Structure 1
Amino acid sequence: MSEFMRPIPFKELMEWCRNEYKSQNTIFGIHKDKFYRNEKGTYITTVLGDKMGSAVGPAAGPQSQLAQNIIASYLTGARFMEIKTVQIMDGEEIQNAVARPCIFAEDECYNCEWSTELTVQQAFEEYTKAYFAIQVLAKELGLADYKDFAYNMSVGYDLAGIKSEKVDNYIEGLKDASNTPIFKECKEYLSDNLNNYIKFGSSDLEAISPNICQSITLSTLHGCPADEIEKISHYLLTEKKLNTFVKCNPTMLGYDYVRKTLDSMGFDYISFTDHHFKNDLQYDDAIEMFKRLTETSKKEGLAFGLKITNTCPVDTKRNELPSEEMYMSGRSLYPLSISLAAKLSNEFKGQLPIAYSGGADGLNIRDLFKTGIQPITVATTILKPGGYNRFKQLAEETEDLLTPEYKGIDYQALNKYAEEVKSNPVNNKLYREKVASRKTDKELGLTDCYQAPCKDGGCPINQQIPEYLKLVAEGRYEDAIKVIANDNTAPTILGQICSHHCQEYCTRVDYEKTLQIRDMKLIAADNAQEKLISEIKPSDIKSNSKVAVIGAGPSGVAAASYLRRNGMNVVVFEKLAKPYGIVSHVIPRFRISDEQINRDFKIAEAQGVEFRFNTEVTDSYEELKKEYDYIVVATGAWKNGAAPVKEGAENTIDALDFLWKMRMEGGMDLGKKVAVVGAGDVAMDCSRLSKRQLGVEEVTLVYRRTESYMPATQEEVEDVKADNITILELTAPVSYDGKVLKCEKMKLGDWDASGRKSVEGTGEFIELEVDTVIGATGAKVDTSAFEANGLNLDERGRVKVLESRESSVENVYVIGDCKAGASTIVKGMADAKFAAMDILAKEGLGNDFTQFDFPEYDEVIYERRGVLQRPLEGKEEGLRCLKCDQICEICTEVCPNRANVAIEIEGFKTPHQIVHIDGMCNECGNCAVFCPTAGKPYKDKITVFWTEEDFIDSTNVGFLRINEDTFKVRLENGNIIEHKLGDGQLSYTLTRFLETLLEDYEYYWAPTGVAK
């Protein structure tokens, strides 16, 4: 494929809109239910003099580059269009200068593109086409009774370029387009085709003003001299007679302020030097300049203001993009942008108009708008799942605040709000939890690619999460617990203390906050598990073979449960007096009670599993096999971890020993001051439990890295903070003599291959007076039994197993923590499931793992898309589920250019299939970032090509139309053929796709006269 975008001629653009709406009730993928109309009748008159039906719109960026992008923005609620920046470098020259992919919006956003990738003339034509199209659609669809939107053009980056003929023609053309060929073409087409429209008539056409735009924003590159910025602004005001805004860079805040702010909010990994801070416009110079330009604007009878903010230049250190430097925006820019807005507003006592962009979204835009900042534009939030649909919430959130008269900025309120932004936990990086990518390792197929990443990638036992979330939300707890118990043998334990890997993959992570899946599971267990247990009847024994499970921890109980309920005879041997190992003997009671643990044990008991407690297996596996056909070893990881100090380890206590004593032996004397070394969930447990002990006054958690690198779930870290436990970051213990813990201060070094910063000593030491040091550095596995029984181990001393968890000794399986070291309960349960299914298959037995199906209308699913929402209370939280198991289509939502489309097609697992429109793609890579599979939709999906050049330049499976019934086709195997309809050369898949595209989606094919 090619990164070259092919603008759609106006005729085809309008026919596309009309035909798609007629057949699909959508326009460029935007469903009519997401169309926005200001029902309150409020409006805003900006300082620029524009009357608009909402105060929001796309920032000058990917969403305002092509005509279809601007149309999609308008349909969903955008009314202030910051059309993408133009400059003297354009077209092929800039396309070749931009690295691909060029956008990485996984959380905060980075980009390495800056201006339109079209020629300046093409950009002008795109903006003009969209200008006409919006006014036609607004009237025809009943979205507005007047021209309720405005354009704001953007230019850069030096005065010479802005004065060049092509940029000057662009500016003058937008000021008055009446004599331009594209304006005449659009008007002529509409005049000749008014019969296609019901509400839009000749009077509406004549009312379309050729004065497309009377305002401009100066976007200067970092490092542009102050006098150059002022010369350009003065030129735009005095010679071009345009209302003028100037973009301000966050570098005006100074290196120290920006570095400290980002560090304090969890963005300490973002790397940059003070280079741009020294070379960009300096704050004091800016203030004097803005004062002079304000006076100039008054003399000219024009408006002058600021646009807060431009992106922040940072270094590429983690392979985010294929460039040495990139531009940061979104969530991490938010505290910087609002701080700069407040600082500048103070200088001018709220009288200098400020337009805003920099991390606005559906959850903060109302508070932003209340300060008087307007209009507000966005880019990052609409690059994420939900895409353009997010505009509707943005518009609705501010609808009742719109006023017809601009009143300036309440700078005191803005000051207060700027401080709140920095202190509010929801704006901290770690509010999103420690989630890097939601992408799973699942291959992206040509068809049927949708998946619920929470269960297919995030849950080791593939619990049917969307299904039970729906049931819990509806209060159908008995149905929900049946779905949960289908895969999960410990619903209460995993509802209480599961490490919830599923939540790391939840699509809601890319909205605002992961859905609280674990909590929903516990609600179902609390309400219906006892009834489920009462209805369990032991299954008949279906095999003469017997299974011995060694260890009654979570993994052992799970294996026994899976096997027994499917007809196997199982005996579990446990050397302790009760089941669930670490859970029942080590994890603190404030985390989980004996009653909760016992509720899960009742499931296995009711199923007929035989348990032999206080029974340690000392026989060899060979001896055991005389009575048992299969052996499942689930003995856990009980060996003490590495010493927390280099010297004086004998004076410390291991975490497992400490936790055992506290839960099983009535506790121990800790003294007044306790230090816990480590940063996993066990370290968090030790810290919180220590703080609860009588006589303990102070607990310190000591960790050699920073909080963002802690292996503990962020939820556990927040609980530690809530208990007023001190977290001592970048501190490595060295020695402990029973009274003083000596530590070396550490610092983060360069990025390593894992994407983390390395850590190195500073040579500076501190001493902590503590009475007890607890080492929580990870438990180890006692492998002596494996060695004695001849099981093969790897170079790290871990037992070697197949995917089925079978060891090198036939019919001996190793599962849970003893397999590869301390891990999570649910991963151990997954081991048990693999082993059980393998044993059942060997015995010729089926299994009872059922796929539940609870269909829901697509309309209900689509309603939730694009709406940001904080976690809800109780069972209502399930209503935040986006039903990814039924509809994904994320690649269609996040594509700024609308190049990925969903078509309805029969003959496949799901009627919704994805097609890629090559001519609308510039290989920004955004769909690849957010696709929950390991694939890249813009490369892996069946593709419609518009030009021979693009077809040749691609490796995508897809079609190039040669004439009415002949196509050039790249097949699934990569071969290229010429196909004539009906010749039988295509596979069933390609045949059905081509037939459907021709019958129902004719407008996707190469528009006549498409620009080459």
Structure 2
Amino acid sequence: MSDKIRPISFEKLINWIFTELKTKDSIFGIHKDKFYYGIPNNTIPFLGEKLGLPIGPAAGPSSQLAQNIIAAYLTGSRFIELKTVQIIDGEDLPVLKPCINAEDECYNVEWSTELTVEEAFEEYVKAWIILHVLMKELNLSVERDFVFNMSVGYDFDGIKSDKIDSYIENLKNSQNTKIWKESIQVLENNIEKFYRFSIEDLYEIPSRVCNSITLSTLHGCPPQEIERIAIYLLKEKHLHTFVKMNPTLLGEAFVRKILNKMGYEYIKLNSHHFKNDLQYNDGIKMIKKLKAVAEMESMEIGVKLTNTLPVRILNEELPGEEMYMSGRSLYPLAINLASNLSEEFEGKLYISYSGGAEFFNVDKIFETGICPITFATTILKPGGYERIKQIAEKVEPLISNRKSTIDMQLLKKLAKESIDDKHHLKKARVVKIRKLYKDLPIYNCTIAPCSEGCPIEQQIPKYIELVGEGKYDEAFKVIVSDNAAPAITGTLCNHNCQNKCTRLDYDSSLEIRRMKKIAVDNAEELYTKNIKPGAIKNHKKVAIIGAGVAGLSTAMYLRRNGISVEVFEKRDKPYGIINYVIPSFRIDNLALEQDFKMVKSHGVKINFNVAEEVDLNVLRKNFHYVVLATGAWKPASISLKRGNDRILNSIEFLEGFKENSEDIKLGTHVCVIGGGDVAMDVSRAAKRVNGVEKVTIIYRRTKDLMPASREEIKLAIEEGIEFKELLSPVALEDNILVCERMILGEQDKSGRKSPISLGKYESINATTVIAAVGEKIDSELFKSLGIDINSKGLPEVNSKCETNISNVYIAGDAKSGPGTIVEALSHGKIITRDILKKENMPCDFIRAEENTCGYELKKSYERKGVLLESIPSKEEAIRCLKCNNICEICVDVCPNRANVFIDIKEGPIEGHQIIHLDGMCNECGNCGVFCPYKGNPYKDKITIFWSEEDFENSSNSGFCVIDSIKGIFKVRDEKGEIYNWCIEENNSESISKEMKSIIETCVNRYEYII
């Protein structure tokens, strides 16, 4: 694998563009449905040019190659800020790899284009000419409505060097350059192939590519140096000039305060940048002087806001010691700096804006008078360039009312609101990572992460679509095929699926649990009425001890598949903890009754009020299989120096509260120790007890590290529960809970920072203290039954939930301690599969692969890249990206378009397959960040190499052409073996059928990518 980009010739670019458009209805992966068509005369004057839309890619990974710029233009970008060039280039430029991590807020460790300055110039000229061709040929606009802006750095000597000077001059007039002449000649030779683009259009392409420039200097560059360069660019080069300014102008205290308030307290700043970078007052003086120079030269001077923010690398997010932050965490800093500077110049300051600009704020930024607006992070996320169209359509109607100066009051208001903008707060994306931790397959990698993340493998995209269509009965049948407690999980499930949803990298997760509940509310009753117990297909019998979720789900799954089942429960009602402990404000009895009725309707025999003692020997004489699903009811305890006897157990309290809350006396001040969902239940229940005035949750870490679900924490806050963080209880006496103050240290094995004592104490009023620190299983019971127990006090079971005693299984909380409802359901499926396998009986969980039709693919492509707020109805279904049809996230997020899909019509891997193009990849690593698997597409997918040298320098499976006439390829197979393979001889024994199918498809249908 080589990180060297191989520029594509102009002729090949043109061939690629129009061949792909003809064969795939796309250009560089941008489907034609995502092309943006400008409105005639809907332009604004900009630096002597006409600008259709003042939006586009910021100088960065999405504007360094011709194909990047073309993809951005097709989707609506009309202001192209070319990637920065500097005197150090090509092989001499040290760039650590991977260099981009846009998982949430974005970080990078790159400086400027990795091409040589000459190569970069050629890319920009090729893009400039091709955009003129596409404009006419695709009828994207009547006249040129796009503007290129060059960007240079980093010091005066470098900018004045022959290399950079030639670059600047040639972009001012490219007519006499080799690449210009070659490109024009190619078009002349092929002019008859175009329908709308004419020879007259060709000769009207202006050779002046740029009349403006953005100055990007290094952090720490003195103001005198910046000023000297800017004056040089204005006076000597006669270029409209934007000076890029850093967020460090705001001062470290302000930046730290804002980041902390928005939830980014973990970001570590480098103080020396705030001391050594351009200072605010010096910056104001410099801009004033430059404005005077610009006016004398009849040029425009402005500022580019902002540069990225340098921060320390602490958790190996990227290689090195320092990285540069951008994206949604940068937005409040950049927009506040814009507001401050605008006030200094009474709204008469030209601002080119970049810093967390995206769909949800671009219209607000533009309405202040700021123009142009560029972005990087948002198009490095799933959806990629295609989401630019939605941004373009949001800005388009505002063009006619564009302000000539900046509205300072509106900008000030926006800056103030930015700090509380939900789209930029850290908690907007509470899930740290969506990875499935499954190996990335070399073929057939399309996957629905939600279904894979669901412990019971729900067919989520399928039932979401059916709910959206109002087909509730069909949706419920899909749900219940995997889920024996749909009403319960439609209310209480911790929705692992939503933590894997691709929309987390768009806007917010699809409300999958809510969609399930809509189906349940509309269809479960009728479904249950129509259930007819199936025949018993086997003489073997199964005993299940415990009628909780695990026990009843196992019973329903088995009985549904023809196995005789009998359930034994010591209490008088089903669903254990859910029925007896979880408060009714979390779930009502109706949901439990619905699911229980459905289970019984399958013919499951259930015995309540059974003696507590379990005699395994007796059970095994009467039943062929035994499933122990006895739960985890044994309370865990906390150890205080004094007052342990006055600590109330959470389960004991919640059972009493649910039975009769009127009889409970807690006093006025209740303290709850713990940070899980049970602690939230306890605190909210205590708040409802008569006489209680205040409830406080005590937790030894911080709120954001609590294991409780974000929804439950939010509800507790809304109900007035107080959170006391970084406190560890040590003693209780005289209604005072004494707590030790803590500080967070290094991460522990759980991935959370360990609390460390400060040696200081805090006293809190507490008439009652309730411990909600978890429950334990009764390991003594299992020991007495002869079941092996591990060092953690948990029963030893294999991957099928089977114990050391043959045909004896353990499910639910009894297996591994308190867990989630859906985990308990999954144990039921695992055990059912194993028993049916042992009995050589078919299992109705196994589903045939569905073929995806063209209509479904079209629906998926229409939704790609489109951001939508959550919709509180069945219409939420339109937010589903249908990842089971197509994934192609690696295609979306690659700025260089180095990952492509090919469609294989027949063979062992029929359908869409991802191919990696080595020559277009610089190993930025962004595809690996967002791929649902734990692999890296740029390393793990079949790779096409454009030279034998690149093939030899890589270990990727893939191929390159050795002799195109004879059809000879050098192939590295899936195991790393290398072959010379001839397509004509068809010596298929040397390579796999899958690899053969890939090569033949590329040769026959996608020759332009080889």
The two structures have a TM-score, normalised by structure 2, of 0.97
Equivalence map 1:174-573=2 (5 Å)? 174-403=171-400, 407-433=404-430, 435-456=431-452, 458-573=453-568
Residues of 2 paired with 1:44 and 1:850: CA distance?
Answer: 59
Quick check: 1:585–1:663 contact (8 Å CA) kept in 2?
A: yes
- Match of residue 601 from structure 1: 596
CA shift, 1:396, in A, is 0.4
Residue 270 and residue 145 in structure 1: after superposition, are their counterparts in 2 closer, same or farther (change >3 A)? same
Residues of 1 paired with 2:866 and 2:705: CA distance?
Answer: 30
Residue identity matched to 2:546: G
- The number of residue pairs the alignment matches comes to 1000
1:836 to 832, 846, 866: 832
- Match of residue 142 from structure 1: 139
1:649 to 644, 650, 655: 644
* SS at structure 2 position matched to 1:903: strand
| Percent identity of equivalent pairs | 51
The reply to whether residue 1004 of structure 1 matches residue 1009 of structure 2 is yes
CA shift, 1:646, in A, is 4.8
CA shift, 1:949, in A, is 1.7
The range that moved more, 885-894 or 257-266, is 257-266
- Match of residue 929 from structure 2: 929
Residue identity matched to 1:372: G
Residues of 2 paired with 1:237 and 1:749: CA distance?
Answer: 52
The range that moved more, 376-385 or 339-348, is 339-348
CA shift, 1:404, in A, is 8.0
Residues of 2 paired with 1:371 and 1:729: CA distance?
Answer: 40
Residues of 1 paired with 2:638 and 2:195: CA distance?
Answer: 79
* SS at structure 2 position matched to 1:886: coil
Residues of 1 paired with 2:871 and 2:273: CA distance?
Answer: 43
Residues of 1 paired with 2:281 and 2:45: CA distance?
Answer: 31
Instruction: Give deviations 1:673-721, integer Å, cap 9, x for gaps.
Output: 2222221111111122222222222222222222221211112111112
Q: Which runs of 5+ in 2 are unaligned?
A: none
1:670 to 666, 678, 683: 666
Equivalence map 1:48-127=2 (5 Å)? 48-94=47-93, 97-127=94-124
Quick check: 1:549–1:572 contact (8 Å CA) kept in 2?
A: yes
CA shift, 1:754, in A, is 5.3
Residues of 1 paired with 2:767 and 2:222: CA distance?
Answer: 59
Residues of 2 paired with 1:275 and 1:786: CA distance?
Answer: 61
Residues of 2 paired with 1:688 and 1:405: CA distance?
Answer: 51
Quick check: 1:318–1:751 contact (8 Å CA) kept in 2?
A: no
CA shift, 1:245, in A, is 0.8
Quick check: 1:40–1:399 contact (8 Å CA) kept in 2?
A: no
Residues of 1 paired with 2:631 and 2:748: CA distance?
Answer: 32
Residue 396 and residue 154 in structure 1: after superposition, are their counterparts in 2 closer, same or farther (change >3 A)? same
* SS at structure 2 position matched to 1:919: helix
Quick check: 2:40–2:141 contact (8 Å CA) kept in 1?
A: no
CA shift, 1:403, in A, is 3.5
- Match of residue 31 from structure 2: 31
- Match of residue 1008 from structure 1: none
Quick check: 1:318–1:755 contact (8 Å CA) kept in 2?
A: no
Quick check: 1:506–1:514 contact (8 Å CA) kept in 2?
A: yes
Residue identity matched to 2:579: S
Quick check: 2:39–2:141 contact (8 Å CA) kept in 1?
A: no
Residues of 1 paired with 2:877 and 2:908: CA distance?
Answer: 29
Residues of 1 paired with 2:602 and 2:489: CA distance?
Answer: 19
Residue 238 and residue 733 in structure 1: after superposition, are their counterparts in 2 closer, same or farther (change >3 A)? farther
Quick check: 1:309–1:358 contact (8 Å CA) kept in 2?
A: yes
Residues of 2 paired with 1:41 and 1:835: CA distance?
Answer: 68
The reply to whether residue 720 of structure 1 matches residue 722 of structure 2 is no
Residues of 2 paired with 1:98 and 1:650: CA distance?
Answer: 62
Residue identity matched to 1:868: L
Residue identity matched to 1:514: S
Quick check: 2:367–2:403 contact (8 Å CA) kept in 1?
A: no
Instruction: Give deviations 1:346-405, integer Å, cap 9, x for gaps.
Output: 222211111211112112211221111211111111011111101101110000111386
CA shift, 1:516, in A, is 0.3
Residues of 2 paired with 1:153 and 1:703: CA distance?
Answer: 53
Residue identity matched to 1:606: S
- Match of residue 685 from structure 2: 689
- Match of residue 705 from structure 2: 709
Residue 209 and residue 920 in structure 1: after superposition, are their counterparts in 2 closer, same or farther (change >3 A)? same
Residue identity matched to 1:284: N
CA shift, 1:857, in A, is 2.6
CA shift, 1:746, in A, is 2.2
- Match of residue 954 from structure 2: 954
Residues of 2 paired with 1:334 and 1:377: CA distance?
Answer: 12
* SS at structure 2 position matched to 1:837: helix
Residue 646 and residue 681 in structure 1: after superposition, are their counterparts in 2 closer, same or farther (change >3 A)? farther
Residue identity matched to 1:739: N
Residues of 1 paired with 2:929 and 2:476: CA distance?
Answer: 34
Residue 645 and residue 369 in structure 1: after superposition, are their counterparts in 2 closer, same or farther (change >3 A)? farther
Residue 644 and residue 419 in structure 1: after superposition, are their counterparts in 2 closer, same or farther (change >3 A)? farther
CA shift, 1:645, in A, is 4.4
Larger RCO (alpha carbons 8 Å, 6+ apart): 1
Instruction: Give deviations 1:512-553, integer Å, cap 9, x for gaps.
Output: 000000000000000000000001111211222211111111
- Match of residue 941 from structure 2: 941
Quick check: 1:625–1:631 contact (8 Å CA) kept in 2?
A: yes
Residue identity matched to 1:229: I
Quick check: 2:367–2:402 contact (8 Å CA) kept in 1?
A: no
Instruction: Give deviations 1:55-112, integer Å, cap 9, x for gaps.
Output: 2100101000111000000001111101101111110111xx2111111111111111
* SS at structure 1 position matched to 2:621: coil
Residues of 2 paired with 1:745 and 1:349: CA distance?
Answer: 49
* SS at structure 1 position matched to 2:442: coil
CA shift, 1:184, in A, is 1.5
Residues of 1 paired with 2:283 and 2:745: CA distance?
Answer: 35
Quick check: 1:539–1:567 contact (8 Å CA) kept in 2?
A: yes
1:774 to 770, 773, 779: 770
Instruction: Give deviations 1:951-983, integer Å, cap 9, x for gaps.
Output: 011111111101121111101221111111123
* SS at structure 2 position matched to 1:961: strand
Residues of 1 paired with 2:731 and 2:270: CA distance?
Answer: 36
2:987 to 971, 983, 988: 983
- Match of residue 1010 from structure 1: none
CA shift, 1:422, in A, is 1.1
Residue identity matched to 2:861: Y
Quick check: 1:644–1:777 contact (8 Å CA) kept in 2?
A: no
Quick check: 1:448–1:908 contact (8 Å CA) kept in 2?
A: no
1:168 to 165, 168, 193: 165
Residue identity matched to 1:764: K
Quick check: 1:67–1:129 contact (8 Å CA) kept in 2?
A: yes
Q: Which runs of 5+ in 1 are unaligned?
A: 1006-1012
CA shift, 1:241, in A, is 1.5
**What is the RMSD computed on CA atoms of the aligned residues?**
1.5
Residues of 2 paired with 1:208 and 1:170: CA distance?
Answer: 19
Residue identity matched to 1:889: E
Equivalence map 1:804-823=2 (5 Å)? 804-823=800-819
Residues of 1 paired with 2:404 and 2:787: CA distance?
Answer: 78
Residue identity matched to 1:946: W
Residue identity matched to 1:350: G
Residue 753 and residue 695 in structure 1: after superposition, are their counterparts in 2 closer, same or farther (change >3 A)? closer
CA shift, 1:774, in A, is 1.7
- Match of residue 14 from structure 2: 14
